[in-house]
Amino acid sequence: MRLVFAGTPEVAVPALDALIDSGRHEVVAVVTRPDAPAGRGRRLVASPVAERAMEAGIEVLKPARPREPEFLDRLREIGPDCCPVVAYGALLPKVALDVPARGWVNLHFSLLPAWRGAAPVQHSIMAGDEITGASTFLIEEGLDSGPVYGTVTEEVRATDTSGDLLTRLAFAGAGLLAATMDGIEDGTLDAVPQPAEGISLAPKITVEDARVEWRAPALRVDRVVRGCTPAPGAWTTFRGERLKLIQVTPLPDRNGLAPGQLAVGKNNVYVGTGSYAVELLWVQAQGKKPMRAADWARGVRGADGETLGL
């Protein structure tokens, strides 16, 4: 098939590579978000998908909105059979959905209908799921509600951050998306409507969502930290300034600390929660680089007995 691939961040690149390398389909163009400011100089930078497409000599389309007449006219000129999508980042209007004969097929990083929305991996970790996965489905106007072509499953490991899990799903999902294109092309794959039960939503994680509540149980604290790493980054406050929490570990055998209370040893830093303590392993103070929590505690001096989150 002639494909127009839509995607933007690094997590979409493995799927684009899988389609370029498939030998069966032709990626004739890529649709991605416009260049965005990045780095200290805030200079405009092309998306990872745009950069990969340019390396491969593929036409890149960067509409500010996918309903722009110029974009729609070019899409019709290209005449794709199907448009695979991975984390494109913009809502596709019906007028665009109607262009390819076989529709737009999204690779979504959850087992639909669970975790429909922008942040399925983060919500899966924060909810304590033991199994998650990726799904390919035919895009319709509803939020991630279209019929499903296929799925792959992935175990959520006890120490997974959302970055760890998303990386694995990106590569597993790339193979699923390529296989879905094959099945659509040869007519062996039919999309199955999603069940009405088991629907859960995964809206974008806000900075406030990423604030750690120390009165919560230790397992919840650990899940929030892992689910919000690397973005938007779990955080608390210390002496009135924000402290980013990069890695913690629950300690079921350590009790006796009030929620948020610090206990500083020579090489360890513990914090009380609503159940048992967690150990702080890696943190990042405002204006500083990430560092081991023990080094941070030595630098601030006198943290023993103080409370985080006030």
Query: Is 143 marked as a binding-site residue?
Result: no
- Neighbouring CB atoms inside 10 A of 299's CB total 11
Query: Is 145 marked as a binding-site residue?
Result: no
251 beta partners: 277
How far is it, in rounded angstroms, from Cα 6 to Cα 280?
40
Q: Which residues contact 176 (CB under 8 A, 6 or more apart)?
A: 107, 134, 136, 150, 151, 152
At residue 38's C-alpha, the angle toward residues 37 and 40, to 5°, is 115
At residue 13's C-alpha, the angle toward residues 7 and 19, to 5°, is 90
* Sequence-ordered strand ranges (E) for the chain: 2-7, 26-31, 36-38, 43-45, 59-61, 83-86, 104-108, 131-138, 148-155, 234-238, 241-251, 262-264, 269-271, 277-285, 291-292
How far is it, in rounded angstroms, from Cα 234 to Cα 249?
14
- On the CB side of 168, CA atoms within 13 Å amount to 16
With H, G, I as helix, E, B as strand and everything else as coil, classify residue 100. Answer: coil
Query: Is 165 marked as a binding-site residue?
Result: no
Query: Is 112 marked as a binding-site residue?
Result: yes
Residue ranges for the known binding site are 110-113
Residue ranges for the known binding site for (6S)-5,6,7,8-tetrahydrofolate are 110-113
